[in-house]
Structure 1
Amino acid sequence: MKHVTRQHATIASIASQWQVATSVAKVGRDREGGSVADKHLTPEELAERVGVPVSTVYQWNSRGGGPRFMKIGRYVRYKVVDVNAWEESLYVEQAAG
C-alpha cells in the first residue's frame, strides 16, 4: 500500500508543478508566493510553449507578430499575461454553415 500512496503523491506533485508552469490564463500565486501574472518567460520558454523554433520568436520580435515583449538590459522577456493575451488574439472565428 505504501507504493500506491507514494505513487499518488508523486502524480499529485507532478500535476501541481504542471499547473503552475503552464498556468494558461490563470492569475494566481506561484510556489514562491509571487503572482503568476508577473512571471516572465525567456524566448526559449515562449518557443517551447507555442511549439516553434527560437529563431521564429526572435523574428517576431524584429518584424512583429508575436506577443509584446520587454528588454531588461540585453535580455528579452515576456510577461505571462501578455503571452496569454496574444494567444487569445490568435483564435479564428469560424463562419457558420
Structure 2
Amino acid sequence: MRHAQAAISEQLLTAKETAKILGIAHETLARWRAQKRGPRWTQTGRYIRYRRSDVDAWLSDDDEAA
C-alpha cells in the first residue's frame, strides 16, 4: 500500500490537469510560471509537468499562509 501511495504522489501532471486540481484556468497557471509563482514545475523538452507531490505541498503551504 505504501508503494502505491508513493507512486501516486510522484505522478506527473500536465498543466491542464494541475489547473483543474487548483480550480484555476490553465492560462492563470502559465502566467504564474512566468511570474515564478505557484507550484514547482519541470520541463522536459517542450512539455511542462507538475509532480503531484509538489502540487500538494504548494497547496499545503498556501493553506498555512492564509
The answer to whether the superposition gives a TM-score over 0.5 is yes
Partner of 1:29: 4
Matched, 1:55 2:27: yes
The corresponding residue for 1:43 is: 15
Structure 2: how far apart are the matches of 1:28 and 1:66? Answer: 27
Once the two structures are superposed, what CA deviation does each residue of 1:9-37 show, in whole Å capped at 9, x if it has no partner?
Answer: xxxxxxxxxxxxxxxxxx7517xxx7112
* Percentage of matched positions with identical amino acids: 29
Structure with the higher helix share, 1 or 2: 2
Distance 1:49 1:93 in 2: 19
The runs of at least 4 consecutive aligned structure 1 residues that moved more than 3 Å come to none
Of Structure 1 and Structure 2, the greater strand share is in 2
SS in 2 for 1:71: strand
Aligned to 2:4, the other structure's residue is in SS state coil
| Unmatched segments (≥5 aa) in structure 1 | 1-26
Structure 2 residue runs without a partner (length 5+): none
Evaluate the alpha carbon distance shift between residue 88 and residue 28 of structure 1 in structure 2; reply closer, same or farther with a 3 A threshold.
farther
Q: Which has the larger radius of gyration?
A: 1
The number of aligned residues is 65
Q: Which has the higher contact order (CA 8 A, sep 6+)?
A: 2
**SS at 1:35's partner residue?**
helix
Partner SS, residue 52 of structure 1 = coil
Shift of 1:92: 4.3
